[in-house]
Amino acid sequence: MKPRRMTQDWTTTARTLSEALPYMQRYSGAVVVVKFGGNAMGDDEAMAQFARDIVLMRQVGMNPVVVHGGGPMINEMLGKLGITSEFVRGKRVTDKPTVQVVEMVLTGLVNKRIVQAIMDEGGRAVGLSGKDDDLMICEPDDPELGFVGRPVEMNVQVLRDLFSAGIIPVVAPVATGRGANETFNVNGDTAAGAIAGALQADRLLLLTDVAGVKDASGKVITQMTPEEVRAMIGDGTIAGGMIPKTETALAAIDQGVRGVVILDGRVPNACLLELFTEDGAGSIIRASDLAPLG
């Protein structure tokens, strides 16, 4: 048997765990929706680490929901099948053959890989899509883009049922429409925001490949109000791909989400750093008049 040794590393670990206790108590019973995507999805170790974080969140009494993307995997499969995409104003047109590939990849490949990773770390997880139990019903976001959906009706009781059973839901952003046999591809951030809003989540964590929202000098802003975000969009400080992410955050807060955090999912244990430390790990957007969680 390997002898036990007291080291500085163990002392630091014990102190860290002790300091995390108030945050664990604060978030006990809290609903936290996590949008998982980006480079971490393609790396086995990053996937395993993310899964461990999610299992730990559940273990300390939180109710996490994972919503995922899968753009690179979709592009790879479209290429293998010889399906050429058309673009309108820089956005992919999702025709019927494309949306079939999207559904196959997101619900069959990516979703089950995340479920398996959580199970491998000792958690219980169930994979589903926005189609299951009519979780997410969509209308076309832009008729020119084909089967790209905008959520218009949410039915989240199935997620609450999974919480009650101690199960972590893993949701693929594929949804049903109001027409017969309609399937819509939904932007992952948009889907996560809609689910968080319908659940009145305590936190929505949008994992990205950047450190957070930056000011004009390039410094990450740790806390913002919706009014400040709108002003920064208006003056061009928030631009490019950060605009839809912050707009998702604003829509979620309008629906009652207590706080939305945009953070770098490439940072090890990013979710835990955000939830269980004083400084957090990204940019949090929350109403200025909202009482602290807990």
The whole-angstrom separation of Cα 37 and Cα 241 is: 14
Q: What would the pLDDT profile of 202-230 be if each residue is shown by its tens digit?
A: 999 999 888 899 999 989 999 999 999 99
- Amino acid identity of 195? I
The whole-angstrom separation of Cα 62 and Cα 31 is: 6
- Amino acid identity of 21? L
Share the mean pLDDT of the chain: 89
pLDDT bin (cut points 50, 70, 90) of residue 197 is very high
* Full set of structural domains in the chain with CATH: 30-285 (3.40.1160.10)
Specify the 3-state DSSP secondary structure of 252: helix
Distance, first Cα to last Cα, the chain: 43
Q: What would the pLDDT profile of 160-181 be if each residue is shown by its tens digit?
A: 999 999 999 999 999 999 888 8
Instruction: Tell me what percent of the residues of the chain surpass a pLDDT of 70.
Output: 90
pLDDT bin (cut points 50, 70, 90) of residue 23 is confident
pLDDT for position 283: 94
Specify the 3-state DSSP secondary structure of 235: coil
pLDDT bin (cut points 50, 70, 90) of residue 27 is confident
**Greatest pairwise CA separation for the chain in angstroms:** 66
The whole-angstrom separation of Cα 140 and Cα 142 is: 5
- Amino acid identity of 211? A
The two three-digit tokens of residue 143, written as one number: 């008729």
pLDDT for position 189: 94
**Helices (H), ranges, 104-237:** 111-120, 157-164, 188-199, 226-234
Q: How many of the other CB atoms lie within 10 Å of CB of 96?
A: 9
Q: How many of the other CB atoms lie within 10 Å of CB of 147?
A: 24
